[in-house]
Amino acid sequence: MGETARDIMDTRLYTLHPRTPVAEAAAILRRAREELGRPVFGMIVVDNEGKLVGMASMYDILLLTRPKHIHIWGEMADIDATGIIREACLRAKPILVGDIMTTNVVTVTPDTHLLLIVDIMIKRHIRRLPVLEDGKVVGMVYLSKVFDYFVDQLIL
Amino acid sequence: MSIIDRESVLRGLTVQEAMRRLVIRSTYHAPLEQATRLMIKYKVNALLVTDEEENGIGVLSKTDVMAAYYAEMAVDTPIEAMMTGPPLFCNLRDPLDEALETMRGKGVHRLYVSGEMSGKATGVLAYPDIVGILYRYCYKCERSLTRRRGAQSSIPEAERLKVHEVMTPSVHSHAEDETLFQVMEGLSSHRLGAALITARDGRPSGIISKTDLIIAYRHRVAPDVPARTIMSSPVLACSQSDLLCNAIQTMIFSDVHRLFVYGEDTRQVAGVLSLTDAARIRSGTCRACIATRLMIGSGSA
Protein backbone atom coordinates (compact mmCIF):
# COMPACT_ATOMS: atom_id res chain seq x y z
CA MET A 1 0.00 0.00 0.00
CA GLY A 2 1.60 3.26 -1.11
CA GLU A 3 1.47 6.68 0.48
CA THR A 4 1.67 5.57 4.06
CA ALA A 5 3.37 6.72 7.25
CA ARG A 6 6.45 4.80 6.16
CA ASP A 7 6.97 7.22 3.24
CA ILE A 8 7.23 10.35 5.34
CA MET A 9 8.11 9.27 8.85
CA ASP A 10 11.27 10.60 10.43
CA THR A 11 13.37 7.77 11.81
CA ARG A 12 15.81 9.99 13.69
CA LEU A 13 14.31 9.52 17.15
CA TYR A 14 14.88 11.68 20.15
CA THR A 15 13.36 10.38 23.36
CA LEU A 16 12.82 11.41 26.94
CA HIS A 17 12.54 9.20 30.03
CA PRO A 18 9.75 9.68 32.62
CA ARG A 19 12.40 10.49 35.22
CA THR A 20 14.10 13.13 33.08
CA PRO A 21 13.88 16.54 34.78
CA VAL A 22 12.24 19.31 32.75
CA ALA A 23 15.51 21.28 32.57
CA GLU A 24 17.22 18.31 30.93
CA ALA A 25 14.25 17.76 28.63
CA ALA A 26 14.51 21.38 27.50
CA ALA A 27 18.19 20.86 26.67
CA ILE A 28 17.35 17.73 24.66
CA LEU A 29 14.64 19.63 22.75
CA ARG A 30 17.12 22.38 21.96
CA ARG A 31 19.78 19.89 20.85
CA ALA A 32 17.29 18.09 18.61
CA ARG A 33 16.31 21.38 17.02
CA GLU A 34 19.94 22.16 16.24
CA GLU A 35 20.68 18.71 14.86
CA LEU A 36 17.50 18.47 12.78
CA GLY A 37 17.63 22.06 11.63
CA ARG A 38 13.96 22.68 12.41
CA PRO A 39 11.89 23.53 15.48
CA VAL A 40 11.15 20.59 17.79
CA PHE A 41 8.19 21.18 20.07
CA GLY A 42 7.59 17.73 21.50
CA MET A 43 9.09 14.31 22.07
CA ILE A 44 8.08 10.79 22.89
CA VAL A 45 8.69 9.44 26.37
CA VAL A 46 9.87 5.84 26.66
CA ASP A 47 10.56 3.65 29.69
CA ASN A 48 13.67 1.57 30.40
CA GLU A 49 12.49 -1.11 27.96
CA GLY A 50 11.98 1.40 25.18
CA LYS A 51 8.19 1.16 25.47
CA LEU A 52 6.22 4.29 24.61
CA VAL A 53 4.66 5.68 27.80
CA GLY A 54 3.78 9.24 26.81
CA MET A 55 4.51 12.44 24.95
CA ALA A 56 5.89 15.66 26.38
CA SER A 57 5.38 18.85 24.43
CA MET A 58 6.09 22.55 24.50
CA TYR A 59 2.50 22.98 25.70
CA ASP A 60 3.12 20.74 28.72
CA ILE A 61 6.17 22.77 29.71
CA LEU A 62 4.38 26.08 29.25
CA LEU A 63 1.49 24.80 31.37
CA LEU A 64 3.95 23.94 34.10
CA THR A 65 5.47 27.41 34.14
CA ARG A 66 2.11 29.20 34.13
CA PRO A 67 1.44 30.46 37.67
CA LYS A 68 -1.55 28.81 39.29
CA HIS A 69 -3.07 32.08 40.44
CA ILE A 70 -2.53 34.12 37.31
CA HIS A 71 -6.27 34.85 37.13
CA ILE A 72 -5.91 36.80 40.37
CA TRP A 73 -2.59 38.51 40.08
CA GLY A 74 -3.00 38.98 36.34
CA GLU A 75 -5.46 41.70 37.34
CA MET A 76 -2.99 43.24 39.77
CA ALA A 77 -1.22 45.46 37.30
CA ASP A 78 0.06 47.55 40.20
CA ILE A 79 2.25 44.72 41.51
CA ASP A 80 5.76 44.59 40.07
CA ALA A 81 6.26 41.21 38.40
CA THR A 82 9.73 41.81 36.99
CA GLY A 83 11.68 38.55 36.99
CA ILE A 84 8.68 36.26 37.47
CA ILE A 85 9.39 34.21 34.34
CA ARG A 86 12.87 33.40 35.59
CA GLU A 87 11.38 32.29 38.92
CA ALA A 88 8.75 30.15 37.20
CA CYS A 89 11.45 28.42 35.14
CA LEU A 90 13.60 27.78 38.19
CA ARG A 91 10.61 26.09 39.85
CA ALA A 92 9.91 24.00 36.76
CA LYS A 93 13.48 22.74 36.25
CA PRO A 94 13.46 19.78 38.66
CA ILE A 95 9.92 18.56 37.81
CA LEU A 96 9.99 15.16 36.14
CA VAL A 97 8.75 14.59 32.61
CA GLY A 98 6.64 11.68 33.93
CA ASP A 99 4.59 14.12 36.02
CA ILE A 100 3.63 16.39 33.13
CA MET A 101 3.59 14.16 30.05
CA THR A 102 0.44 13.26 28.17
CA THR A 103 -0.22 9.54 28.48
CA ASN A 104 -3.11 8.88 26.11
CA VAL A 105 -0.94 8.93 23.02
CA VAL A 106 -2.44 8.28 19.61
CA THR A 107 -0.15 6.15 17.44
CA VAL A 108 -0.11 4.83 13.88
CA THR A 109 1.72 1.99 12.15
CA PRO A 110 4.11 2.27 9.20
CA ASP A 111 1.25 1.09 6.98
CA THR A 112 -1.30 3.71 8.08
CA HIS A 113 -2.44 5.63 4.99
CA LEU A 114 -1.56 9.33 4.82
CA LEU A 115 -5.21 10.34 4.42
CA LEU A 116 -6.06 8.54 7.64
CA ILE A 117 -3.16 10.33 9.31
CA VAL A 118 -4.52 13.66 8.04
CA ASP A 119 -7.91 12.74 9.47
CA ILE A 120 -6.45 11.86 12.87
CA MET A 121 -4.36 15.04 13.00
CA ILE A 122 -7.32 17.26 12.14
CA LYS A 123 -9.85 15.59 14.41
CA ARG A 124 -7.56 15.27 17.41
CA HIS A 125 -5.54 18.48 16.94
CA ILE A 126 -2.32 16.47 16.83
CA ARG A 127 0.88 17.73 15.21
CA ARG A 128 3.03 14.62 15.68
CA LEU A 129 2.28 10.91 15.72
CA PRO A 130 4.60 8.13 16.87
CA VAL A 131 4.81 5.22 14.45
CA LEU A 132 4.74 1.85 16.23
CA GLU A 133 5.82 -1.53 14.88
CA ASP A 134 5.74 -4.59 17.15
CA GLY A 135 5.25 -2.32 20.14
CA LYS A 136 8.38 -0.27 19.42
CA VAL A 137 8.56 3.27 18.15
CA VAL A 138 10.17 3.19 14.71
CA GLY A 139 9.47 6.73 13.56
CA MET A 140 7.55 9.97 13.92
CA VAL A 141 5.14 11.58 11.50
CA TYR A 142 5.02 15.37 11.70
CA LEU A 143 2.19 17.53 10.42
CA SER A 144 4.72 19.64 8.54
CA LYS A 145 6.01 16.59 6.66
CA VAL A 146 2.46 15.50 5.82
CA PHE A 147 1.72 18.96 4.49
CA ASP A 148 4.97 19.00 2.49
CA TYR A 149 3.90 15.75 0.84
CA PHE A 150 0.57 17.27 -0.17
CA VAL A 151 2.21 20.48 -1.39
CA ASP A 152 4.48 18.37 -3.60
CA GLN A 153 1.38 16.78 -5.13
CA LEU A 154 -0.43 20.09 -5.45
CA ILE A 155 2.29 21.80 -7.45
CA LEU A 156 2.93 18.90 -9.82
CA MET B 1 -21.68 54.33 32.89
CA SER B 2 -19.06 54.97 35.53
CA ILE B 3 -18.28 52.20 37.97
CA ILE B 4 -19.52 54.11 41.02
CA ASP B 5 -23.01 54.38 39.58
CA ARG B 6 -23.40 50.65 39.85
CA GLU B 7 -25.18 49.18 42.81
CA SER B 8 -22.77 46.30 42.46
CA VAL B 9 -19.42 46.45 40.74
CA LEU B 10 -20.32 43.16 39.13
CA ARG B 11 -23.72 44.31 37.89
CA GLY B 12 -24.01 44.02 34.16
CA LEU B 13 -21.24 41.45 33.97
CA THR B 14 -22.05 37.96 32.81
CA VAL B 15 -20.50 34.61 33.58
CA GLN B 16 -18.70 34.50 30.24
CA GLU B 17 -16.66 37.59 31.18
CA ALA B 18 -15.11 35.91 34.22
CA MET B 19 -15.03 32.20 33.37
CA ARG B 20 -12.17 30.19 31.99
CA ARG B 21 -12.75 28.24 28.81
CA LEU B 22 -10.26 25.47 29.52
CA VAL B 23 -12.25 22.81 31.37
CA ILE B 24 -10.05 20.01 32.66
CA ARG B 25 -12.02 16.80 32.40
CA SER B 26 -11.71 13.07 32.54
CA THR B 27 -14.03 10.17 31.92
CA TYR B 28 -15.52 8.33 34.89
CA HIS B 29 -13.68 5.10 34.15
CA ALA B 30 -10.19 6.67 34.01
CA PRO B 31 -7.95 5.78 36.96
CA LEU B 32 -7.38 8.16 39.87
CA GLU B 33 -3.71 8.15 38.90
CA GLN B 34 -4.58 9.89 35.64
CA ALA B 35 -6.83 12.37 37.42
CA THR B 36 -3.99 13.21 39.78
CA ARG B 37 -1.64 13.86 36.88
CA LEU B 38 -4.17 16.22 35.29
CA MET B 39 -4.58 18.12 38.56
CA ILE B 40 -0.82 18.56 38.87
CA LYS B 41 -0.30 19.42 35.22
CA TYR B 42 -3.10 21.95 34.90
CA LYS B 43 -2.79 23.23 38.49
CA VAL B 44 -6.48 22.79 39.20
CA ASN B 45 -8.23 21.66 42.35
CA ALA B 46 -10.95 19.68 40.61
CA LEU B 47 -11.83 17.91 37.38
CA LEU B 48 -15.14 17.61 35.61
CA VAL B 49 -15.99 13.93 35.29
CA THR B 50 -17.76 13.05 32.07
CA ASP B 51 -19.40 10.11 30.38
CA GLU B 52 -18.31 8.89 26.93
CA GLU B 53 -20.36 11.64 25.26
CA GLU B 54 -18.56 14.32 27.32
CA ASN B 55 -21.64 15.07 29.41
CA GLY B 56 -20.67 16.27 32.88
CA ILE B 57 -21.73 13.67 35.43
CA GLY B 58 -19.57 14.49 38.45
CA VAL B 59 -16.69 16.38 39.99
CA LEU B 60 -13.47 14.97 41.40
CA SER B 61 -11.57 17.33 43.71
CA LYS B 62 -8.17 17.11 45.39
CA THR B 63 -10.10 16.46 48.61
CA ASP B 64 -11.69 13.40 46.98
CA VAL B 65 -8.28 12.12 45.83
CA MET B 66 -6.91 12.72 49.32
CA ALA B 67 -9.81 10.68 50.69
CA ALA B 68 -8.84 7.81 48.36
CA TYR B 69 -5.25 8.08 49.63
CA TYR B 70 -6.50 8.03 53.22
CA ALA B 71 -8.62 4.96 52.48
CA GLU B 72 -5.55 3.32 50.89
CA MET B 73 -7.36 2.79 47.60
CA ALA B 74 -5.24 1.70 44.64
CA VAL B 75 -4.21 4.48 42.23
CA ASP B 76 -5.84 2.58 39.39
CA THR B 77 -9.26 2.80 41.05
CA PRO B 78 -11.74 4.37 38.59
CA ILE B 79 -12.61 8.00 39.19
CA GLU B 80 -16.30 7.15 39.54
CA ALA B 81 -15.57 5.51 42.89
CA MET B 82 -14.59 8.87 44.41
CA MET B 83 -16.37 11.55 42.38
CA THR B 84 -19.24 13.58 43.73
CA GLY B 85 -22.09 14.70 41.58
CA PRO B 86 -23.85 15.85 39.67
CA PRO B 87 -21.83 18.99 38.81
CA LEU B 88 -23.56 22.34 39.18
CA PHE B 89 -24.00 24.30 35.98
CA CYS B 90 -24.74 27.90 35.12
CA ASN B 91 -25.16 29.51 31.71
CA LEU B 92 -22.84 31.73 29.72
CA ARG B 93 -25.16 34.70 29.88
CA ASP B 94 -26.19 34.39 33.51
CA PRO B 95 -25.46 37.51 35.57
CA LEU B 96 -22.19 37.05 37.47
CA ASP B 97 -23.68 38.03 40.81
CA GLU B 98 -26.42 35.42 40.34
CA ALA B 99 -23.78 32.74 39.74
CA LEU B 100 -21.99 33.87 42.87
CA GLU B 101 -25.19 33.59 44.85
CA THR B 102 -25.58 30.01 43.61
CA MET B 103 -22.03 29.17 44.68
CA ARG B 104 -22.60 30.73 48.07
CA GLY B 105 -25.98 29.08 48.54
CA LYS B 106 -24.80 25.61 47.51
CA GLY B 107 -21.46 25.92 49.30
CA VAL B 108 -19.38 25.06 46.22
CA HIS B 109 -16.15 26.57 44.92
CA ARG B 110 -16.95 26.31 41.23
CA LEU B 111 -19.74 26.17 38.68
CA TYR B 112 -19.42 24.65 35.25
CA VAL B 113 -20.76 26.73 32.40
CA SER B 114 -23.01 25.09 29.86
CA GLY B 115 -23.11 26.22 26.28
CA GLU B 116 -25.69 25.51 23.66
CA MET B 117 -26.00 21.85 24.61
CA SER B 118 -27.20 21.12 28.10
CA GLY B 119 -24.82 19.00 30.17
CA LYS B 120 -21.76 19.89 28.09
CA ALA B 121 -19.33 22.26 29.79
CA THR B 122 -17.85 25.11 27.75
CA GLY B 123 -16.22 26.82 30.72
CA VAL B 124 -15.71 26.89 34.44
CA LEU B 125 -16.23 29.67 36.93
CA ALA B 126 -14.43 29.54 40.27
CA TYR B 127 -14.00 31.95 43.18
CA PRO B 128 -10.47 33.04 42.23
CA ASP B 129 -11.72 34.09 38.79
CA ILE B 130 -14.18 36.38 40.51
CA VAL B 131 -11.58 37.66 42.97
CA GLY B 132 -9.50 38.66 39.95
CA ILE B 133 -12.36 40.50 38.32
CA LEU B 134 -13.35 42.15 41.61
CA TYR B 135 -9.79 43.44 41.86
CA ARG B 136 -10.11 45.03 38.44
CA TYR B 137 -13.31 46.85 39.34
CA CYS B 138 -12.97 47.54 43.05
CA TYR B 139 -9.47 48.96 42.71
CA LYS B 140 -10.89 51.68 40.44
CA CYS B 141 -14.12 52.16 42.37
CA GLU B 142 -14.45 55.42 44.27
CA ARG B 143 -16.25 53.62 47.08
CA SER B 144 -13.20 51.38 47.53
CA LEU B 145 -12.24 51.19 51.19
CA THR B 146 -8.55 51.63 50.50
CA ARG B 147 -9.22 54.65 48.32
CA ARG B 148 -11.40 56.27 50.98
CA ARG B 149 -9.01 55.59 53.82
CA GLY B 150 -6.05 56.80 51.82
CA ALA B 151 -7.75 60.02 50.70
CA GLN B 152 -5.97 62.10 53.33
CA SER B 153 -2.53 60.72 52.59
CA SER B 154 -0.11 61.15 49.73
CA ILE B 155 0.58 57.39 49.85
CA PRO B 156 -2.35 55.24 48.71
CA GLU B 157 -3.87 53.10 51.45
CA ALA B 158 -3.28 49.97 49.38
CA GLU B 159 0.46 50.62 49.58
CA ARG B 160 0.36 51.03 53.36
CA LEU B 161 -1.61 47.91 54.33
CA LYS B 162 0.35 45.55 56.57
CA VAL B 163 0.14 41.77 56.66
CA HIS B 164 -1.29 41.64 60.21
CA GLU B 165 -4.36 43.58 59.03
CA VAL B 166 -5.32 40.82 56.61
CA MET B 167 -3.93 37.54 57.94
CA THR B 168 -5.95 34.84 59.67
CA PRO B 169 -4.48 34.73 63.17
CA SER B 170 -4.59 30.97 63.66
CA VAL B 171 -2.56 28.15 62.19
CA HIS B 172 -3.16 24.44 62.04
CA SER B 173 0.03 22.44 62.51
CA HIS B 174 1.32 18.90 62.82
CA ALA B 175 4.58 17.55 64.18
CA GLU B 176 7.15 16.23 61.71
CA ASP B 177 6.84 12.69 63.05
CA GLU B 178 3.06 12.52 62.77
CA THR B 179 1.94 10.31 59.90
CA LEU B 180 0.35 11.44 56.65
CA PHE B 181 -2.84 9.78 57.96
CA GLN B 182 -2.86 12.29 60.82
CA VAL B 183 -2.11 15.23 58.54
CA MET B 184 -4.99 14.19 56.25
CA GLU B 185 -7.32 13.90 59.24
CA GLY B 186 -6.30 17.42 60.32
CA LEU B 187 -6.81 18.95 56.88
CA SER B 188 -10.14 17.23 56.48
CA SER B 189 -11.59 18.14 59.87
CA HIS B 190 -10.48 21.79 59.61
CA ARG B 191 -11.36 22.06 55.89
CA LEU B 192 -7.89 23.37 55.07
CA GLY B 193 -5.74 23.23 51.97
CA ALA B 194 -2.42 22.97 53.82
CA ALA B 195 -0.92 22.45 57.27
CA LEU B 196 2.22 23.75 58.88
CA ILE B 197 4.70 21.07 59.94
CA THR B 198 6.81 21.71 63.01
CA ALA B 199 10.06 20.27 64.33
CA ARG B 200 10.40 18.83 67.85
CA ASP B 201 11.37 22.24 69.27
CA GLY B 202 8.18 23.70 67.81
CA ARG B 203 9.89 25.63 65.04
CA PRO B 204 8.18 25.54 61.64
CA SER B 205 10.04 23.13 59.39
CA GLY B 206 7.75 22.57 56.38
CA ILE B 207 4.32 22.61 54.80
CA ILE B 208 2.10 19.83 53.52
CA SER B 209 -0.64 20.83 51.12
CA LYS B 210 -3.30 18.74 49.42
CA THR B 211 -1.17 18.99 46.28
CA ASP B 212 1.80 17.44 48.13
CA LEU B 213 -0.51 14.65 49.30
CA ILE B 214 -1.93 13.81 45.90
CA ILE B 215 1.61 13.77 44.44
CA ALA B 216 2.61 11.37 47.23
CA TYR B 217 -0.42 9.24 46.37
CA ARG B 218 0.55 9.15 42.70
CA HIS B 219 4.11 8.25 43.65
CA ARG B 220 2.72 5.47 45.85
CA VAL B 221 4.18 6.78 49.10
CA ALA B 222 2.68 4.82 52.02
CA PRO B 223 0.32 7.05 54.04
CA ASP B 224 1.80 5.90 57.34
CA VAL B 225 5.18 7.58 56.72
CA PRO B 226 6.12 10.63 58.85
CA ALA B 227 5.06 14.06 57.61
CA ARG B 228 8.67 15.10 57.14
CA THR B 229 8.97 12.59 54.27
CA ILE B 230 6.94 14.66 51.82
CA MET B 231 6.75 18.15 53.35
CA SER B 232 7.87 21.15 51.29
CA SER B 233 10.67 23.00 52.95
CA PRO B 234 11.62 25.72 53.83
CA VAL B 235 8.38 27.30 55.00
CA LEU B 236 7.46 30.26 52.85
CA ALA B 237 6.73 32.99 55.33
CA CYS B 238 6.71 36.70 55.94
CA SER B 239 6.56 38.92 58.99
CA GLN B 240 3.27 40.30 60.26
CA SER B 241 4.77 43.79 60.02
CA ASP B 242 5.64 43.38 56.33
CA LEU B 243 3.79 45.45 53.78
CA LEU B 244 0.95 43.50 52.19
CA CYS B 245 2.11 44.37 48.67
CA ASN B 246 5.50 42.73 49.38
CA ALA B 247 3.81 39.61 50.77
CA ILE B 248 1.60 39.39 47.66
CA GLN B 249 4.70 39.71 45.51
CA THR B 250 6.33 36.83 47.40
CA MET B 251 3.24 34.64 46.81
CA ILE B 252 3.14 35.55 43.13
CA PHE B 253 6.82 34.82 42.61
CA SER B 254 6.66 31.56 44.55
CA ASP B 255 3.38 30.47 42.90
CA VAL B 256 1.79 29.71 46.25
CA HIS B 257 -1.65 30.52 47.56
CA ARG B 258 -0.61 31.14 51.16
CA LEU B 259 2.21 32.49 53.27
CA PHE B 260 2.68 31.69 56.90
CA VAL B 261 3.23 34.76 59.04
CA TYR B 262 5.80 35.12 61.80
CA GLY B 263 4.87 37.15 64.84
CA GLU B 264 7.23 39.18 67.02
CA ASP B 265 9.07 35.96 67.83
CA THR B 266 10.41 34.78 64.48
CA ARG B 267 10.53 31.18 65.73
CA GLN B 268 6.76 31.04 65.99
CA VAL B 269 4.11 31.28 63.27
CA ALA B 270 1.31 33.65 64.27
CA GLY B 271 -1.01 33.37 61.31
CA VAL B 272 -1.54 32.63 57.66
CA LEU B 273 -2.17 34.94 54.71
CA SER B 274 -4.04 33.76 51.63
CA LEU B 275 -3.66 35.31 48.19
CA THR B 276 -7.43 35.60 47.69
CA ASP B 277 -7.93 37.46 50.98
CA ALA B 278 -4.90 39.64 50.30
CA ALA B 279 -6.20 40.51 46.81
CA ARG B 280 -9.68 41.29 48.09
CA ILE B 281 -8.49 43.58 50.83
CA ARG B 282 -5.90 45.30 48.67
CA SER B 283 -8.45 45.94 45.95
CA GLY B 284 -10.50 47.85 48.50
CA THR B 285 -13.45 45.51 48.08
CA CYS B 286 -16.07 46.93 50.39
CA ARG B 287 -19.60 46.09 51.41
CA ALA B 288 -21.12 48.81 49.29
CA CYS B 289 -22.28 46.24 46.81
CA ILE B 290 -23.94 42.93 47.51
CA ALA B 291 -21.85 40.89 45.12
CA THR B 292 -18.61 41.71 46.87
CA ARG B 293 -19.79 40.45 50.25
CA LEU B 294 -17.99 37.23 49.72
CA MET B 295 -16.19 35.15 52.20
CA ILE B 296 -13.63 33.58 49.95
CA GLY B 297 -12.48 30.18 51.10
CA SER B 298 -9.00 28.84 50.58
CA GLY B 299 -10.17 26.63 47.75
CA SER B 300 -9.54 27.54 44.15
CA ALA B 301 -10.43 26.24 40.76
CA closest to A68 among chain B residues: B43
Question: Do the Cβ atoms of B37 and A74 come within 8 Å?
Answer: no
Q: Could you tell me if B43 lies within 8 Å of chain A, comparing CB atoms?
A: yes
pLDDT at B175 over 70: yes
pLDDT for B9 equals: 62
Neighbours of B289 (CB within 10 A): 20
pLDDT at B279 over 80: no
Question: Do the Cβ atoms of B245 and A79 come within 8 Å?
Answer: yes
Question: Do the Cβ atoms of B215 and A99 come within 8 Å?
Answer: yes
CA closest to A72 among chain B residues: B132
Burial letters A100-129, b for 16+ CB under 10 A, else e: bbbeebebbeeebebeebeebbeeeebbbb
The predicted model scores a pTM of 0.79
Q: Could you tell me if A154 lies within 8 Å of chain B, comparing CB atoms?
A: no
Distance from CA of B128 to the nearest CA of A (A): 6
Helices B180-190 and B210-218: crossing angle in degrees, nearest 10, is: 140
DSSP B129: H
Interface probe with B: pick from A65, A69, A89, most Cβ of B within 10 Å: A69
pLDDT average, residue stretch A129-138: 93
pLDDT average, residue stretch B186-206: 92
Amino acid sitting at position B142: E
* C-alpha span between A9 and A131 (Å, rounded): 8
Return the SS3 of B8.
Answer: coil
**Closest C-alpha to B283, from B301, B296, B299, B270:** B296
Q: Could you tell me if B92 lies within 8 Å of chain A, comparing CB atoms?
A: no
Distance from CA of A92 to the nearest CA of B (A): 11
Question: Do the Cβ atoms of B255 and A80 come within 8 Å?
Answer: no
CA closest to B299 among chain A residues: A69
Residues of A in contact with B158 (CB under 8 A): 78
Chain centroid to CA B156: 28
Contact (CB, 8 A) for B198 and B171:
no
Question: Do the Cβ atoms of B41 and A64 come within 8 Å?
Answer: yes
The length of chain B, given as a count of residues: 301
Contact (CB, 8 A) for B128 and B300:
yes
> B1-52, pLDDT tens digit by residue?
444 444 566 667 889 888 988 899 999 999 999 999 899 888 899 999 999 9
Q: Please compute Rg for chain A using Cα positions.
A: 18
Q: Residue A129: which pLDDT band, with cuts at 50, 70 and 90?
A: very high
> H-type helices in chain B, by residue range?
15-18, 32-42, 62-70, 96-106, 127-138, 145-149, 157-160, 180-190, 210-218, 244-254, 275-283
Lay out the sheet containing B46-50: strands in order across: B25-27, B46-50, B56-61
Contact (CB, 8 A) for A103 and B37:
yes
Q: Could you tell me if B160 lies within 8 Å of chain A, comparing CB atoms?
A: no
Contact (CB, 8 A) for A102 and A59:
no
pLDDT average, residue stretch A75-80: 72
pLDDT at B298 over 50: no
* C-alpha span between B106 and B119 (Å, rounded): 19
Q: Which of A63, A80, A91 sits opposite B255 (nearest CB)?
A: A91
> A22-44, pLDDT tens digit by residue?
999 999 999 999 998 888 889 99
pLDDT for B277 equals: 75
